[in-house]
Amino acid sequence: MSDVKLHGSGGYIVAEITQEQTKKADLGVGKLFLAPLGKLEEQQMKKHYCKICEEEFSNPPKIQLEENNREEVADNLVLVERGQYTCQKCNGVIGEYRVFEKQEESGEIGQAKAQEKS
């Protein structure tokens, strides 16, 4: 695990993330981004920078949860949580996250079945 800068639309968060999370956050443009990671745990986040305050803070941002009623966004994919990382000082949005869940983890997915002939 290493400390990296994760960019959002309203600033950035410095967080300790795994190598696997680093790969997810890398969109191939030379920066790492918050959005592809889903929700980070508060203890992973070290500090944050807010574009509105134009200031870096030595503590994690706040996490604000949005109301959500398990929204189906695609076949077998449900949005279970939506939230925002917000500045501790001005409540400006630093970045957003989404947590998805597959509806059913079936062993039959991706396996071919012989069709019955009538």
- Tens-place pLDDT, residues 7-58: 999 999 999 999 999 999 999 898 999 999 989 999 999 999 999 999 999 9
Instruction: Give the pLDDT confidence score for residue 117 in this predicted structure.
Output: 53
Contact indicator for 26, 32 with CB cutoff of 8 Å: yes
Q: Residue 109's pLDDT is what? A: 46
107 belongs to a structural domain: no
**Would 117 be classed as within a structural domain?**
no
Q: Summarize pLDDT for 51-77 with one digit per residue, the tens.
A: 999 999 999 999 998 876 788 888 888
pTM: 0.77
Indicate whether 76 belongs to any domain: yes
Q: Is 110 part of a structural domain of the chain?
A: no
Cα–Cα distance, 37 to 19 (Å, whole number)? 12
Number of independent structural domains in the chain: 1
95 strand-pairing partners: 85
- Answer whether residue 18 is part of any domain: yes
